[in-house]
Structure 1
Amino acid sequence: MSERVALPLLRPGDPFPPLAGALPLHSAAPGLLAVGGVLDVPTLVAAYSSTIFPWFSEGEPILWWSPDPRMVLPVAHYRLHRSLRKVIQRFRDDPACEVRVDTAFADVIAACAGANRPGQSGTWIGPDMRAAYARLHEAGHAHSVETWVRGELVAGLYCVSVGRAVFGESMFTRVADGSKIALSALVALCRAQGVALIDCQQNTRHLAFMGAGEMPRAEFAAHVAWLAAEPPIDWHFQPVYWNELLPSSPLNDDQ
Structure 2
Amino acid sequence: MTKLKFTLLAMGMSMGLYMSAQEVEPTTPEETEFYEPVPPKVVPGTNGAAPSDAIVLFDGSNLDNWISTKDSTAAKWTLNKDGSMTVNNRTGDIQTKQNFGSMQLHIEWKSPAEVNGDGQHRANSGVFLSGMYEIQVLDNNNNDTYVNGQVGSIYKQHVPLAMASVPTGEWNTYDVIYHAPVFEKGQKVKSGTITLIQNGVLIQDNVEIKGTTPYVGWPKNPVHGKGPLKLQDHGDNSRVSYRNIWVRELK
User: The TM-score by the shorter chain falls in which range?
Assistant: under 0.3
TM-score of the two chains, using structure 1 as the length reference: 0.23
TM-score of the two chains, using structure 2 as the length reference: 0.24
| Larger Rg, first or second structure (1 or 2) | 2
Higher helix share: 1
Higher strand share: 2
